[in-house]
Chain A
């Protein structure tokens, strides 16, 4: 276990470190906000969300990988990741079919960024999740089912 890293964050110096990174231009807080797509995040269904993102009919792609648990340990914080091996990936989005608003996250990638993102999403029930990737003017998609269960009764 990396206790040094954990302690740095616990003692609060972590904030200073992150501040320094931001100051050095390594983390740019403005990047994510710049491309906020209100219509897409407020859309209810998968179809409306895809339309709002301009991705009505994305192509299934093995170059896109969506990672996450098969069964969520806690539906409130489900770790989900997306990677894309498609050159020129500029946007990566995570959609959860059965959530009240399908779009959970959208990442805009500046040129030269490794197309690999990790985040935590909230899920109310078992659902397919979709990783949507934009490269050039084309959209690609991969999917995985994540089960949300009541728990208990095991083995």
Chain B
């Protein structure tokens, strides 16, 4: 299937004009594409799962990581497999459509062949088909839905709220949603979502008395089977994101409360208990090994597009753990066959959303076009042409982040630059124009301010060690699920297997070792402290100015740390 979307639509138009049935032509085209979406009906309970779409309403390119390391108990285990190792583990052929859907392999060529992924109009078509297949199916949204695009930011999340209602989301949980502030989240829950979408989160309580802020769970009746959906919001929201945006809410993993909630749902008659989680996959795997009575944890946050569930044994039996990737690229479909109150079997499939293979749903497309119309001039401004591939995802750096730290160093006249290890952000192919929209895809947050600080060499090391422990602490409950802070100017050596505080060494600037006592000029963005509000211009303005000057962006050199202890790790391919 090497047709692009326009050619694809032309074929359909010709077919229609020639009096052929549009439907049968479409069916033929899809057959050629490998029956990707022909899923036989199974069982009586069907859960559809989207997560971490990061407000991408239109189809995009997204390169999966070539660095997603796991150590200790996580070494070589799902989700810490990349490229060939991932294909082998899940039994996919190289150069297949699945190889492109789940790995970075051959990214540029495969992306040209198969086209863009995701897009709510295409996702809507797929959701409709899955709901037609099992009319009781529930659509679950794992969160990180309202943030990640210019339009989501400018409409105060309204574009995504409306799109999710149109998509038919039934239940959701939260992470970045909270960065619009407590009042906005509650307003959406109580007005837009009232009677339509349930927000669930067992682990968000008031900071004063520990009262629940959201419903911990809901029980939905599906084809006669009571199914509980328990919510687990991102446990470290007030740490990874600004505390001042949720000053009255307290989070945490709250494993004991999770057990109590699961037990309560069972006592109320739930025959299937599913946790809709924003823990991140490693945290979900640990939680699954310790909490009893959960049939499946459908997870997100770490953006791991894992084609099959991990089956975790625990004292109560077993729990399936899934993770459904990011950026609207996939729809997870979990089916249970429930007989006499017990689960007799299950099927899971993570369906990639290929925009060329799923026609846009006209109503959703109209909604998207309408919400974007006032902003098109701004979004479509061409800033530069990229000669190389631009992407973000990876444990240590991505080419788009390299552009951001390069821009920070130049525009702020800094020696060193830091950019947060976010995992969202779309990809661009060589030769594609970089539009303002693409810069916003990497930067659109509610605390986008740029900063310049004088930091001692000792403090720089402390920062790197702190973030590195959030990524590589051997205990998943102490991890936060982001990637390593991206660093410009500074080179360093990283040993993820070392103890906390001893992973970073050999920090060099322009060939000189960093002096712990000396002060360095460090630029950054996305400060979490309230004092840093409005510190400097928003990052997208700085990056846009830099790109307008550059005009043609040559392939960038990735500043990667020298790694120790990662030899032979199936979570890295360089």
Q: Which residues in A have some Cβ–Cβ distance to B below 8 Å?
A: 1-2, 5-6, 67, 69-74, 79, 126, 145, 147, 149-155
- 8 closest A-B pairs by CB: A154-B240, A154-B482, A153-B420, A152-B528, A70-B477, A1-B211, A154-B480, A73-B238
Query: Assuming A1-B213, A69-B252, A150-B463, is B422 touching A155 (CB within 8 A)?
Result: yes
Q: Which residues of A contact B175 (CB under 8 A)?
A: 155
Q: Which residues of A contact B239 (CB under 8 A)?
A: 71-73, 149, 151, 154
Q: Which residues of A contact B302 (CB under 8 A)?
A: 155
Nearest-CB distance from B279 to chain A (Å)? 11
CB of B388 within 8 Å of the partner chain: no
Q: Which residues of A contact B152 (CB under 8 A)?
A: none
The stretch of B25-33, B334-342, B376-384, B465-473 that contacts the partner chain = B465-473
Cβ 8 A contact of A154, one of B250, B475, B481: B481
Cβ 8 A contact of B236, one of A6, A71, A74: A71
Chain B facing A: main interface SS: loop
As a 0/1 sequence over residues 342 to 367 of chain B, the CB contacts with chain A under 8 angstroms (1 = contact) are 00000000000000000000000000
Which B132-180 residues have a C-beta within 8 angstroms of A?
144, 175-176
Q: How far is the CA of A71 from the CA of B254 in the complex (A)?
A: 12
Query: Assuming A70-B253, A71-B239, A126-B500, is B470 touching A5 (CB within 8 A)?
Result: no
Query: Does A153 lie within 8 Å of B251, measured CB to CB?
Result: no
Query: Assuming A154-B241, A155-B422, is B206 touching A1 (CB within 8 A)?
Result: yes
Query: Does B209 lie within 8 Å of A5, measured CB to CB?
Result: yes
Query: Assuming A71-B478, A154-B481, A155-B144, is B469 touching A147 (CB within 8 A)?
Result: yes
Q: Which residues of A contact B423 (CB under 8 A)?
A: 155
Q: Which residues of A contact B480 (CB under 8 A)?
A: 71, 149, 153-155
- Closest A residue to B237 by CB, please name it: A154
Q: Which residues of A contact B475 (CB under 8 A)?
A: 70
Q: Which residues of B contact A153 (CB under 8 A)?
A: 240, 420-422, 467, 470, 480, 482, 485, 526
Query: Does B478 lie within 8 Å of A151, measured CB to CB?
Result: no
Cβ 8 A contact of B280, one of A74, A126, A147, A155: A155
Nearest-CB distance from B472 to chain A (Å)? 13
A-B contact pairs, 26 of them (CB 8 A): A1-B206, A1-B211, A1-B213, A6-B209, A70-B253, A70-B475, A71-B478, A72-B239, A73-B239, A74-B243, A149-B469, A149-B480, A151-B243, A153-B240, A153-B421, A153-B467, A153-B482, A153-B485, A154-B239, A154-B241, A154-B480, A155-B240, A155-B280, A155-B423, A155-B424, A155-B481
Interface size in chain B (residues, C-beta < 8 A): 48
Q: Which residues of B contact A155 (CB under 8 A)?
A: 144, 175-176, 234, 240, 280, 301-302, 422-424, 480-482
Query: Does A154 lie within 8 Å of B470, measured CB to CB?
Result: yes
Q: Which residues of B contact A149 (CB under 8 A)?
A: 239, 466, 469-470, 480
Query: Does B478 lie within 8 Å of A73, measured CB to CB?
Result: no
Q: How far is the CA of A151 from the CA of B420 in the complex (A)?
A: 11
Query: Assuming A147-B478, A154-B482, is B208 touching A6 (CB within 8 A)?
Result: yes
